Amino acid sequence: MGKVSEFNQQDYEVIARDYADLKEAARKRCNDESELDIIQKAFDFANEAHKGIRRRSGEPYILHPIAVAKIVVSNIGLGYKSIVAALLHDVVEDTDYTVDDLRNLFGDKVATLVEGLTKIKTVLDNEDKAQQKSMQAENFKRILLTLNDDVRVVLIKLADRLHNCRTIEFMPEHKRDKILSETMFIFIPLAHRLGLYSVKSEMEDIWLRFKEPKAFNEITANINRNIHNKDQEINDFIAPIDEALKAAGFDFEIKKRVKTPYSIWNKMNTKNIAFDQIYDLYAVRIIFDLAQETKEKEREQCYHIFSIITGIYRYKSDRVRDWVNYPKNNGYEALHCTLMSHTGIWVEVQIRSRRMNEIAEKGIAAHWAYKKDGFADENESEMDKWISKVKDILVNPDVNALDLLDMIHNDLIKTDIMVFTPKGEQRSIEKGATALDFAYSIHTHIGNKAIAAKVNLRLVSLSYVLKTGDQVEIITAENESPKREWLQFLKTRKARGIVMDYLRSERHESIRIGKKMLFEQLEAIGYNTGDKTINMLMEGYEVFDSKPDELYFRIGAGIIKLNTLKDVLSKVREQKKRESSWIFPWLRPKARKDKFVIKEDGASDHRYVIASCCNPIPGDSVVGFLGSDNTVTVHKRTCDIANNLASKFGDKIVIPEWEHAKSQNLSYLVRLSLKGFDRIGIINDITRYISFVMSVNIRKFSLSTENGVFDGHIDLYVHDMGDLEKLTKKLQKIEGIQSVIRTEL
């Protein structure tokens, strides 16, 4: 929990101040003084229980539950029982008090909430190596099981995680990586799915600040510089909108906001663009009040405001997002559009009613509050449907813990599209889903018997990928049954699960077929079929099982396709070769086992390999994972695979550090993506500078030109980030080049 020491006068003053802030926030959510009295009683109890205990930061421990309770009431909008549970959430775990003690003092509901939080914390902090393999997955399972019981446990846990992230700088580095990866893999998607945008955004920014501090600082500096330069322009943009809406009789407020550092960083990386190319950096939010709130009136007002502001400014038609008629599956409602200001900058405008804004800010808690008040909403069941669907996944006895974690994670981050039945009934389905997925979403029998589909009255195959607005009709035949090849294109968990269950009855046959197919392919490309090759394939295809039968089954069932077999083997072999003589010597005789320095020389049993998924180079922010053979695999801290691994195997994290001295004998493969205006001689200028001036070895060069604009990439070898940054800056100065960005290989 923390260290024990006497509190001083300053400590008591800080505690009193923070609790006074909480009480003021809680007063707005409490129905009467009796509820405030219970909060006071909970604070007095927790304050005494944690007396003399300090956190790693040195501050009194009680400040943590106070902070969690403040997030619960201010960011999430929960009531007094949740505030009380937040104040008490660490008492059972960290003191001699029991759940029964809390039940006697605060009632059954508060005790149940605290018990749920205690169970989650116990598993999260468990360091028993025998349980580590499925620890995170089992923990997440427990968290989601509480959704079916009382979602407030999850919401309070999110508040607890947010405050732990706020104070994460005081954690040891290996523990910090575990918490941040777990946060990105589990808690951020969960916050998004429950509509808690403020919680989600703050967690994302903290994740970036510690995973990629250099990128975070650069983006933050760019934002601040941009705000300073453009603030008056945004005010000038808002002025005519404000005037026009007042003239139209609206009761409203307008807020300004800038994209968060994480959302900018994510867009730069996914779109391969520079900061200057992000055109929707600014957003304006119009929040209007209604004398009488009805769904029809809200919609009417949203579209009325849209017509007024697009009469003032030109809008980008492909950037209109109508989440008023079609809310997101987490309940979010708003009308978005992007307008061009008179000074030439694009500004995103979000139009929301007061109710929509409350739901956008506080998610499920606000959603249920309005539902309780009798506000009609035909889409209100989307959140409830997802929560009830969770149980179907959790009770499946054939899903192991690690697969469960991936399954739920994918379900959390997916986005949905709207399609229609032949009778015009609207249905929501995962983006990327096929006609066969749609068939299974209607009924298992229809999916099992499907042979084709009609989309918008046109005959298509079952593998057809659906788009928003498609009208879908499924054609069936009674003698049809699920096929192995269906697994190659099915997208949704439900459909894949049904087909897998059907095929599992034929598992032994699938294993036999898969083994035969694999061995034939291996012999055809000149590889032996020994254990070494099979183990390489299990690693390459990410089959985390002790026996190769699972690999054979996935091949036989059509889940793994062998058309990339040679590439997979080559990739694994190349990664193994790169181990060479690289090792991790200890930093000092008594150094922690989680601290390593990446060097060329030294004496240690630990070797390392550079992860081929993200290809870190010296100077990158990295994290390592210790394997059973004492080899450490080094990833970028922001690598998706690294975050996945850290969320599951927190005990395997090590913190490598690049040696400061540059080795002239070692180089690392990176990719630079270039964009610009074509001209005669530009390719010669680029290659001459890279090869002759910088003496850098080019592995691959690919450029394409269309209408005077070129786009392409160069794969080359550098010694470290210093080389890469120098090269990038020099290339940007070549006439015609508009952007040079490092991208994934």
Closest CA to 482 of 494, 500, 464: 500
Distances (CA, A) of 228 to 231, 274, 277: 6, 20, 18
Write the single-letter amino acid at 128: D
DSSP, res 516: H
Q: Which of 665, 737, 658, 652 is nearest to 703 (CA)?
A: 737
- Residue 732 corresponds to which tokens in the numbers above? 């940007």
Phi, psi angles (nearest 5°) of residue 714: -125, 125
* Other residues' Cβ atoms within 10 Å of the Cβ of residue 414: 18
Q: What phi, psi does 668 have (nearest 5°)?
A: -130, 140
Helices (H), 248-353: 261-271, 295-312
DSSP 692: I
Q: What is the DSSP string of 635-671?
A: EETT-HHHHHHHHH-GGGEEEEEE-SSPPTT--EEEE
> Rounded distance, CA 540 to CA 133, Å?
20
CA distance linking residue 708 with residue 729, whole number of Å: 23
Q: Is 398 a catalytic residue?
A: no
Nearest partner of 91 among 118, 52, 59, judged by Cα: 118
Which residues, in sequence order, are CB contacts of 532 under 8 Å at separation 6+? none
Contact (Cβ atoms closer than 8 angstroms) between residue 365 and residue 102: no
Give CA–CA dist 728/714, Å, rounded: 11
According to DSSP, the residues that pair with 289 across neighbouring strands are: 251
| Residues written for the chain | 745
Q: Which helix (H) or strand (E) holds 131?
A: none
Tokens of 309: 């502001």
- Assess whether 93 carries a catalytic annotation: yes
Partners of residue 287 on adjacent β-strands: 253, 352
Q: What does the alpha-carbon distance between residue 127 and residue 130 come to, in Å, rounded to a whole number?
A: 9
Distance CA 118, CA 155 (A): 14
> Quick one: DSSP state of residue 170?
G
- Give dist(CA 480, CA 451) in Å, integer: 7
Neighbours of 99 (CB within 10 A): 15
What's the DSSP call for residue 662? Answer: P
CA-nearest of 707, 698, 700, 710 to 734 is 710
Cα-Cα end-to-end distance for the chain:
43
Helix (H) or strand (E) holding 61: none
Among residues 59, 94, 173, 380, the one annotated as catalytic is 94
86/25 Cα distance (integer angstroms): 14
Give the residue among 467, 457, 385 at the shortest CA–CA distance from 433.
Answer: 467
Considering the candidates 59, 93, 579, 715, report the single residue annotated as catalytic: 93
List CB contacts of 644: < 8 A, sequence separation 6 or more.
Answer: 181, 185, 406, 409
What's the rounded Cα separation, in Å, for the pair 585 and 657? 11
Buried b (16+ CB within 10 A) or exposed e, 509-523: ebbebbbebbbebbe
Query: Going by DSSP bridges, is the β-strand pair 653-658/346-353 parallel, antiparallel, or unpaired?
Result: unpaired
Which residues are catalytically annotated?
93-94
